[in-house]
């Protein structure tokens, strides 16, 4: 049987084998994406989205209002969102939140939302070569980071879940998604995000253990750390309850 060699291209993913690791990116896909939407000559931007206003009436990502016109079929909004979602899910976690936010308005997009899509494309114009590098000699195991944005969607009173898992110092799984429950506090939103991250952690551990078994490598029985930055959430997970400031100052209260 003829040896086909190492995989270099698969489903839009470019795989570069280097002496010190493997680089996975989608430069060609991104270039084609920019040309498809006539953004290949656009001025690049340094961020994937504009700063949102704390005033809900001035938020550029607010839902379509009664006095606004919905974009017609001549504007390829759905096609752009679909193309960006594939890029987000494969190699570009840095645009996850922006794409998730813009995808919410697929049923009734306006010019404001289309400008948001073009902003993401301009960001990609300046970051075409970004990808994920997996080093050969890294001894870092699986580690997760979870966070939440309380009331990131003030129009629907919903918060945002965000998590990323890294192995060898490089991201292997990530998500940015609006929560389905209405969180009553920032702690509540963080607990929801931590729960979603824990579910993903269980699946990743089972998958990695299966790979280790198939390769004849000893199982890694050490726990997987998940980092969380909310003090109340950490206290609740460790102690089973949340202490208020008075109790923290004087444990006898």
Please list, in sequence order, all residues whose beta carbon lies within 8 angstroms of the beta carbon of residue 4, skipping any fewer than 6 positions away: none
Domain that holds residue 41: 9-131
Closest to 166 (Cα-Cα) out of 191, 197, 187: 197
pLDDT value of position 243: 58
User: Is residue 248 pLDDT above 60, yes or no?
Assistant: no
43 and 148 fall within a common domain: no
Residue ending a domain, choose from 131, 161, 188: 131
| pLDDT attached to residue 2 | 64
Q: Is 236 left (phi over 0), alpha (psi -120 to 50) or beta?
A: alpha
By three-state DSSP, how is residue 188 classified? helix
* Domain CATH code at residue 244: 3.30.420.10
Q: What is the 3-state secondary structure (H, E, C) of 143-184?
A: EEEEEEEEEEECCCCEEEEEEEEEECCEEEEEEEEECCCCCC
- Domain end residue (candidates: 109, 131, 153): 131
Roughly how many angstroms between the first and final C-alpha of the chain, as a whole number? 76
pLDDT of residue 221: 81
β 143-153/131-135 pair status: unpaired
pLDDT above 90 for 76: yes
Domain membership of residue 192 (yes or no) is yes
76 plus 101 within the same structural domain? yes
The DSSP element (H or E) to which 47 belongs, if any, is none
**Confidence band of 52 (pLDDT split at 50, 70, 90):** confident
Look at residue 2 and tell me if it is in a domain. no
Please tell me the pTM assigned to this model: 0.88
Same domain membership, residue 167 and residue 113: no
> For residues 112 and 61, is the Cβ–Cβ distance under 8 A?
yes
- 22-28 LR contacts (CB < 8 Å, sep 24+): 22/133, 22/134, 23/131, 23/132, 23/133, 23/134, 24/91, 24/131, 24/132, 24/133, 24/134, 25/91, 25/129, 25/130, 25/131, 25/132, 26/87, 26/90, 26/91, 26/92, 26/131, 27/128, 27/129, 27/131
Q: What is the mean pLDDT of the chain?
A: 90
Residue 13 shares a structural domain with residue 127: yes
**CA separation for the pair 188, 56 (Å, rounded):** 22
In a domain, 25, yes or no: yes
For the chain, what is the domain count? 2
Q: What per-residue confidence (pLDDT) applies to 247?
A: 46
Q: How far apart are CA 189 and CA 209, in angstroms?
A: 30
Tokens for 253, please give them.
């209260």
221 lies in some domain? yes
Phi, psi angle pair for 20, to nearest 5°: -105, 5
> What is the per-residue pLDDT across 206-218, written as a single tens digit (0 to 9) for each?
998 898 888 888 8
Q: Please tell me whether residue 93 adopts helix, strand or coil conformation.
A: helix
Residue 200 region by backbone torsions, left for phi larger than 0, else alpha for psi between -120 and 50, else beta: alpha
């Amino acid at each position: 049987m003829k040896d086909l060699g190492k995989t270099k291209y698969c489903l839009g993913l470019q795989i570069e084998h280097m002496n010190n690791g493997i680089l996975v990116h989608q430069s060609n896909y991104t270039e084609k994406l920019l040309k498809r939407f006539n953004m290949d000559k656009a001025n690049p931007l340094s961020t994937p989205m504009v700063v949102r206003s704390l005033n809900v009436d001035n938020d550029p990502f607010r839902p379509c209002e009664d006095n606004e016109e919905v974009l017609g079929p001549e504007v390829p909004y759905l096609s752009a969102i679909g193309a960006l979602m594939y890029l987000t899910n494969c190699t570009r976690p840095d645009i996850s939140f922006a794409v998730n936010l813009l995808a919410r308005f697929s049923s009734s997009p306006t010019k404001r939302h289309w400008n948001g899509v073009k902003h993401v494309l301009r960001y990609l114009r300046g970051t075409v070569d970004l990808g994920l590098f997996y080093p050969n000699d890294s001894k870092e195991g699986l580690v997760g980071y979870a966070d939440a944005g309380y009331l990131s969607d003030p129009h629907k009173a919903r918060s945002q879940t965000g998590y990323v898992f890294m192995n060898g110092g490089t991201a292997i799984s990530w998500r940015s998604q609006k929560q389905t429950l209405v969180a009553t506090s920032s702690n509540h939103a963080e607990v929801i995000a931590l729960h979603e991250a824990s579910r993903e952690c269980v699946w990743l551990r089972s998958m990695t253990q299966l790979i280790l078994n198939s390769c004849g490598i000893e199982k890694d029985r050490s726990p997987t750390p998940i980092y969380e930055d909310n003090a109340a959430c950490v206290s609740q997970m460790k102690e089973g309850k949340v202490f208020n400031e008075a109790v923290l100052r004087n444990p006898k209260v």
